[in-house]
Amino acid sequence: MKEKIKVAIIFGGRSTEHAISLLSAQNVLGSLDKEIYDPVLIGIDKKGQWHYNEKSMSLLNAQDANSISMTEMDNPVLLSQNTNQRTLTSVNTKETISRIDVIFPVLHGTFGEDGSIQGLAKLANIPVVGCGVLGSAIGMDKDIMKRILRDDNIGVAKWVTIKHTSKGVIYKDIVETLGNELFIKPANLGSSVGISFSKDQESFFKGLELALQFDPKVIIEEKIIGREIECAVLGNEYPKASIPGEIIPKDGFYSFENKYLDESGAKLQIPADLTENQIQRVQSLAIDTFKLLECSGMSRIDMFMKEDDSLIINEINTIPGFTNISMYPKLWEYSGLPQKELISKLIELAIEAHTKQNKLKLT
């Protein structure tokens, strides 16, 4: 019998999106094809310590986004960064726990989606699902991402970047450039954490101070009036786009509460109600964006469709939510790719990209 491929599903982590990651990982594990793959579960606690988790993946309050958590785990492990060792080692006993053939990082936000875990995988010479170091880092940084798209004449909301401090920021100048309805966002975060909407000077500076607590770089954006359209992309050199979906937030914007805590906070409409021509334009823009931002494997591309029918990119998610109600797997399911096959495809793409990388000349 052919030996199964050992897939390290890594979840949790130090990011503000720790809990979402647990929900996503649970779902990825559930859909992993166990005939071909053997999961190796690695939970990262909120302090950043890696733990080997037994197969059951014991999560507390597993169904509740408000209180889901990793159970007390005390089996600290290390992933060897030595090329070709590809092993997970127990910190306490120094024994090898498992070989690792592929890493599936189900980590949203900082230390997972930003290129750091991808860098570790690269050093260790282990294929990693999703984007590599550069694509992940670009996708994480809303400021850099927008600069690259703007350079290629892809529409993005007008924005101003503020670094380190609110000192010296002149509200009047910002309003002159962007209008008075503003979105204030930490440049490197997700799940709407630290994002505010402001209409006046007082709430603007409050929002700015809040965002600066999460990231030394903050972007201020003009408010875009339009529909929120999302498209899933899958592939390496020849990526494919799914049928688009739409997010219809209950009120204001798609906040953290609307995303995860309030069941009726937003409606995920699959498919989005679009014409054939609109669908094609969304898909083509999603693929262009994926390529321009150096992505591979997967990404969810989020855009606005304005009243005049034009499209602008809002953001890209290189490790999109993967819970059982998340847009990325749901869009593929609707497009004819069931979740189990999607997960297998992502793992195959990771191995394919890694094999190609290793064929490159080093000297």
Ligand X SMILES: Nc1ncnc2c1ncn2[C@@H]1O[C@H](COP(=O)(O)OP(=O)(O)O)[C@@H](O)[C@H]1O
Smallest gap from Cβ 226 to ligand X, in A, equals 8
Contacts of 24 by beta carbon, 8 Å cutoff, 6+ apart: 11, 106, 108, 321, 322, 323, 326
User: Which one, 50 or 260, has the nearer CB to ligand X?
Assistant: 260
User: Which one, 104 or 183, has the nearer CB to ligand X?
Assistant: 183
Residues that bind ligand X (CB under 6 A): 157, 183, 185, 189-192, 195, 221, 223-224, 228, 249, 253-254, 302, 314-315
Smallest gap from Cβ 147 to ligand X, in A, equals 15
Tokens 């059951």 sit on residue: 56
CA angle centred on 318, ends 356 and 109, rounded to 5°: 125
User: Which one, 34 or 262, has the nearer CB to ligand X?
Assistant: 262
User: Which one, 309 or 358, has the nearer CB to ligand X?
Assistant: 309
Helix, coil or strand: residue 207: helix
- Residue 196: beta bridge partners? 184
Smallest gap from Cβ 95 to ligand X, in A, equals 40
Smallest gap from Cβ 349 to ligand X, in A, equals 24
* Measured distance CA(206)–CA(226) in Å, rounded: 26
Closest CA to 18 of 88, 111, 129: 111
Smallest gap from Cβ 244 to ligand X, in A, equals 15
Tokens 């497009």 sit on residue: 335
In the DSSP assignment, the letter for residue 41 is E
User: Which one, 98 or 196, has the nearer CB to ligand X?
Assistant: 196
